[in-house]
Structure 1
Amino acid sequence: MWIPQRLKDGMFLIVLVCPRWLGCKWTVIAAFIAYMPYIGAQFYPQFSTMIPTGLLMGLGGGPLWCAKCTYVTVITKTFSEITRVDSDVVTVQFFAIFFTIYIFCHVWGNLVSSLVFSLDAGDVQDDVTCGANFCPSTASTTNNTNLERPSDEKIYTVAGIYLACMVIAVCIVSYNEDTRECDSKGASIVQLVTMTFKMLRQPRLLMLMPLSVWIGMQEGFMGADYTAAYVSCAWGIRNIGYVMICYGVTNALSAVITGSLVRLTGRVPIVVCATVLHSGVVLGLLWWEPSSHYKAMFFVMSGLWGVADGVWQIQINAMYGVLFPGQEEAAFSNFKLCTSLGYILTYSYSSYICTDVKLYIILTLMLVGVAGYLLVEWKERARANTRSNKE
């Protein structure tokens, strides 16, 4: 039932309207509440419960991400004015702090699921076809006991813990009465919607779109295809959480370190290093044949992917905030539309093509997207030099 969930961030009008009506803080609270029925539906996972709650979750996902990105961008402006530090550097650092905290959901969420799913687990089946040669719905996958669904009792336990965490999150966010409104220079809802669609004509946004779509695709691959074709297939579903904890830790550390390094190196060298690293991991996944006898490799691959993803999350989000000052809501709604498209593409073909083809698609689109990103950086640097020469 992934389709309604992954459509969440593409809701253009709701992404813009909710922050404008409710403000950033109450948009976050409303989005949290919209997530709860989907988690609760896991206790009775039927078509009649999953589809409506998935759609409701989708309606909350887009405004949630737009509100948090706008909020972070707005407070960076105030901090930059007070400290007189360059706003580009402050934006990257603030996004690094936010995403470091956010990324730790991979640690705690996966720790909970793995501890529960590991209870009374059976033996791991060897001699199965996994990795780049993994093809969904083939005889080798349907007869693989490593891919068997956990018991209902374990699923209910995990869902109950997650639902309790959502309730606590709502209480924490709503506790403080202080709020900060989203900054759109007093624009009306109609103006915001118009601004969003007009922004699609800007060359800078169009050049960043392939990389933005790819960010969603590579996240979808790690969350669905890597865990299925490599971890679950060769080592069992119960170990997914432990491997993804490694991904979360390296992701968070990458966000902290690269967010600080950008002050010394600038964005471009860090993005180029992430491109080289991510290309190497993709090629490694094409070559590697996973086996439960070599457990360390599962963590190495997920950890390196997490390092690269930490760069993409920080640098590209910050890039949108820097390129479109005063248009944050429209810019981030376009960004989330692109990443959502990447999610949708990944999940739409996930059940029909083999893993090696998916890896080739990811590698190709990444190279195209990075080329567009570097072109934007070159144009922005040329524009800044022209402006300084005139002054």
Structure 2
Amino acid sequence: MNWKVERTTKNVLVVSFGFLLLFTAFGGLQSIQSSLNSDQGLGLASLSVIYAALILSSMFLPPVMIKYLGCKWTIVISMCCYVAFSIGNFYPSWYTLIPTAIILGTGGAPLWSAKCAYLTICGYQYAKKFNKIGENIVNHYFGIFFLVFQSSAVWGNLLSSLIFQYSSGKANITDEILAYCGPNNCPQYDEKVSQNVTSVHHSIAVIHTLSAIYTGVGVGGVLLVAFFLDQLDKKEIEDFKGKDVNIWAVLVATFTHLRDKRQCLLIVMTMYSGFEQGFLAGDYTKAYVTCTIGIQFVGYVMICFGASNSIFSVTFGKLSKYTGRIPLFAFATITNLASIIALFLWNPRPEQMPVFFVFPSLWGMADAIWQTQTNALYGVLFLSDKEAAFANYRLWESVGFVTAFAYANFLCIKVKLIILVIVLLLGMIMYGIVEYIEFVQHGSESPHTVSQILRGEHLKTKKQKPDELEEEAKEETETTDVKSVDENDAET
């Protein structure tokens, strides 16, 4: 028994640390991509291609790979797709980054689907063998995974900043360059800014060093999973996923789900999640941080975002039990609006160093709400159709990412900030309509918290008329009488 427990724990830890290594590499590269490969917008274009490929692959690839390769080897092969992107950064060009971005995006959907399936199967297996509640074990396993995984943002960004800090010369940031930073940054000024701030100060040797380290870390994650993760039996996977994998049924269900007006109303808010993350990773790092204080500070700035995001994800997750989701969404909206307005008015200068770290910290706090509460909202509203609902969530968030990275090379920062405000306000108005619909149908925010779902309280929120309550009471009385008769018969 102890051996079984240790074996299960070992597999969860192997998956967790494998992802930690892989996303230490990818997360670090993603944060500096817009600054590192700013020529002709190559970095942002590659990020846009990644999420576009991710959208396409998520529609058909995960169930096929899991069925024929199993969860373990789907994870291993998909991780290799991520490593390919790190290799492409050795000699960044349109002929290396775009193809490897397509490869990465193609492997992204199977990677996450296989990881979720593996941890879920392990959780229910353990619960079945030791007479535990399956959902509790699965939640525990995912908690372990994200506890380890979330720290990848810290390590990946720390690596890039340390390498640039000790390998690059001091950036020659003049008042002329500062005039093009922050809200005044536009694509037509990129060449002038990059000549003094980015390209000159990281030589080919530095780029090779950075790419080699990230590639090595990613390969380490692949080898860890390949050699130490146990393969699940095909029967176990079939029992979990079903023996017949109908790609078209999955695809049709995703779009059929759009018939639900609540899903349509949530599209804009879901896309905003991709917009706001895309702005921070692609635009804030380039136009505010790199342009003003240099690329060596990008990693440190993004560490603040990652740390804030992790801390407040846990904090707001617990707080939601007492406040419900509406006050949290309102707080995230106010935080983002205030930050956007401040970014619109702020002309950054090197001597204002602390301010560069304040904005990503606030952004991470708001993003913690967007991520946790939007996921919970989908699970609450579409309890009987979770698969199609979460497929839509991933689809529209990815569309937000693709759109944000795609127009980044053509619009000025002020225009992007205005777009963020419009999408945010429109999304919250439409979300408000969803809450109104739920209020009319159930009489309150339905359900209030995730814990209420687990207790089944979401089934008790619907308003009932007095005659309905009376009829329900009669049914309960009749059921009790029948049970009593059955018990008497059994005793006889």
Give TM-score, length-normalised by structure 1: 0.86
Query: CA offset at residue 84 of structure 1?
Result: 10
Distance 1:285 1:314 in 2: 25
Is the CA contact (8 Å cut-off) linking 2:72 and 2:231 kept in structure 1? no
Query: CA offset at residue 26 of structure 1?
Result: 4.1
1:146 partner amino acid: V
Distance 1:84 1:66 in 2: 19
Q: For 1:139-178, what aligned pairs fall within 5 Å after superposition?
A: 141-142=192-193, 145-148=196-199, 150-174=202-226, 175-177=228-230
Q: Which moved more, 1:356-365 or 1:326-335?
A: 326-335
The secondary structure found in structure 2 opposite 1:122 is: coil
Query: CA offset at residue 71 of structure 1?
Result: 6.5
Alpha carbons of structure 1 residues 303 and 32: separation in structure 2 relative to 1, 3 Å: same
Is the CA contact (8 Å cut-off) linking 2:64 and 2:245 kept in structure 1? no
Q: Given the alignment, which residue of 202, 226, 230 partners 2:284?
A: 226
Query: CA offset at residue 332 of structure 1?
Result: 2.9
2:156 partner amino acid: G
Query: CA offset at residue 366 of structure 1?
Result: 1.1
Q: Verify: 1:106 aligned to 2:157, yes or no.
A: no
Q: Which moved more, 1:147-156 or 1:230-239?
A: 147-156
Q: For 1:313-328, what aligned pairs fall within 5 Å after superposition?
A: 313-325=371-383, 327-328=385-386
Alpha carbons of structure 1 residues 137 and 70: separation in structure 2 relative to 1, 3 Å: farther
Q: Given the alignment, which residue of 285, 290, 294 partners 2:343?
A: 285
1:247 partner amino acid: F
Deviations 1:303-340 (A, max 9, x none): 11111111111221233334444644433332222122
Aligned to 2:189: 138
Aligned to 1:6: 51
The secondary structure found in structure 2 opposite 1:40 is: helix
Is the CA contact (8 Å cut-off) linking 2:124 and 2:134 kept in structure 1? no
Aligned to 1:28: 75
Is the CA contact (8 Å cut-off) linking 1:16 and 1:192 kept in structure 2? no
The structure number with the bigger radius of gyration is 2
Question: For the aligned residues, what is the CA RMSD?
Answer: 3.2
Alpha carbons of structure 1 residues 166 and 380: separation in structure 2 relative to 1, 3 Å: farther
Is the CA contact (8 Å cut-off) linking 1:320 and 1:331 kept in structure 2? yes
Deviations 1:72-120 (A, max 9, x none): 78889998x95699x9xx97x9877655543322211110001001124
Q: Which moved more, 1:134-143 or 1:221-230?
A: 134-143
Q: Verify: 1:301 aligned to 2:359, yes or no.
A: yes
Q: Given the alignment, which residue of 408, 411, 415 partners 1:353?
A: 411
Aligned to 1:335: 393
Alpha carbons of structure 1 residues 319 and 13: separation in structure 2 relative to 1, 3 Å: same
Alpha carbons of structure 1 residues 18 and 321: separation in structure 2 relative to 1, 3 Å: farther
Q: Which runs of 5+ in 2 are unaligned?
A: 1-41, 443-457, 473-492
Identity of aligned residues (%): 34
Query: CA offset at residue 137 of structure 1?
Result: 2.0
Query: CA offset at residue 37 of structure 1?
Result: 1.4
Query: CA offset at residue 350 of structure 1?
Result: 1.0
Distance 1:135 1:359 in 2: 12
Is the CA contact (8 Å cut-off) linking 2:257 and 2:388 kept in structure 1? yes
Distance 1:334 1:246 in 2: 30
2:189 partner amino acid: T
Distance 2:172 2:215 in 1: 30
Aligned to 2:98: 51
Give TM-score, length-normalised by structure 2: 0.70
2:198 partner amino acid: L
Is the CA contact (8 Å cut-off) linking 2:171 and 2:196 kept in structure 1? no
Query: CA offset at residue 61 of structure 1?
Result: 1.5
Alpha carbons of structure 1 residues 194 and 162: separation in structure 2 relative to 1, 3 Å: same
Aligned to 2:11: none
Q: Which runs of 5+ in 1 are unaligned?
A: none
Q: Which has the higher contact order (CA 8 A, sep 6+)?
A: 1
Is the CA contact (8 Å cut-off) linking 2:86 and 2:214 kept in structure 1? yes
Aligned to 2:169: 121
Alpha carbons of structure 1 residues 283 and 350: separation in structure 2 relative to 1, 3 Å: same
Distance 2:353 2:90 in 1: 33
Alpha carbons of structure 1 residues 27 and 371: separation in structure 2 relative to 1, 3 Å: farther
Query: CA offset at residue 229 of structure 1?
Result: 0.9
Q: Verify: 1:267 aligned to 2:347, yes or no.
A: no
Query: CA offset at residue 211 of structure 1?
Result: 1.2
Aligned residues: 386
Distance 2:323 2:134 in 1: 19
Distance 2:241 2:326 in 1: 29
Query: CA offset at residue 353 of structure 1?
Result: 1.5
